[in-house]
Amino acid sequence: MLAVMSQSVPNPIILIDDDPDDLELFASAFNELEIVNEVVTFNNGYDALEFLKNSGRQPLFILCDINMPKVNGLDLRQMIYDDMVLRQKSIPFLFLSTADDRIFVDKAYNLAVQGYFKKPAHLGEIKEMLKAIIIYWRHSHHPNSRNKFITRTS
Each residue's pLDDT tens digit, 13-57: 999 999 999 999 999 999 999 887 889 999 999 999 999 999 988
pLDDT band at 8 (very low <50, low <70, confident <90, very high): low
Q: Which helix (H) or strand (E) holds 15?
A: strand 13-16
CA 26 – CA 5 distance, rounded (Å): 23
Q: Is 111 exposed, middle or buried (0-12, 13-18, 19+ CB in 10 A)?
A: middle
Cα-based angle 68, 69, 70 (whole degrees, multiple of 5): 125
Sign (positive/negative) of CA torsion 135, 129, 112, 47? negative
Per-residue pLDDT, 84: 94
Q: What percent of the chain has pLDDT over 70?
A: 85
pLDDT band at 145 (very low <50, low <70, confident <90, very high): low
Higher pLDDT, 135 or 86: 86
pLDDT digits (tens, 9 = 90+) for 75-122: 999 999 999 999 988 899 999 998 878 999 999 999 989 999 999 989
Q: What domains sit in the chain, N to C, each tagged with a CATH number?
A: 13-139 (3.40.50.2300)
Say if residues 119 and 133 touch (Cβ distance below 8 Å): no
pLDDT digits (tens, 9 = 90+) for 48-82: 999 999 998 889 899 999 999 889 999 999 999 99
